[in-house]
Structure 1
């Protein structure tokens, strides 16, 4: 099963600034990895929805994120 890194960003004046990321060790597919990361990000920040702290989300496999 692939590993994923999900980056969360806040847009300020049209420029995305990363506010955090979550690594998902195991997921069947990218959609499940994204959903798990959204839940984990929200819980870590004490909010019910990840959109309260970030505007955009970007899913990448770790090999792509390290380049």
Structure 2
């Protein structure tokens, strides 16, 4: 399993400005990491949906997988 960092950005006049990021440890695949990050981001900001605060969510692997 890999670790991922998801960056959330708001676009203003076509320019993305990062409004937050979430680190997800030990996700099975990038899709699951992205979904978990979207939920966590929304909860951190007291929102029902992460899109209330950000326009885009970009995912990047942030390290090697776990042990074993």
Normalised to the residue count of structure 2, the TM-score between the two structures is 0.90
Moved over 4 A (4+): none
Instruction: Judging by fraction of residues, say which structure has more strand.
Output: 2
Instruction: Judging by fraction of residues, say which structure has more helix.
Output: 1
Q: What whole-Å deviation, never above 9, does each CA across 1:20-40 have from its counterpart, x for those lacking one?
A: 000001111100000000000
Structure 1 unaligned segments of length 5 or more: list them: none
Aligned position for 2:3: 3
Aligned length: 63
What is the aligned-residue RMSD (CA, Å)?
Answer: 0.7
Q: What whole-Å deviation, never above 9, does each CA across 1:3-26 have from its counterpart, x for those lacking one?
A: 000000000010000000000011
Aligned position for 2:38: 38
Aligned position for 1:49: 49
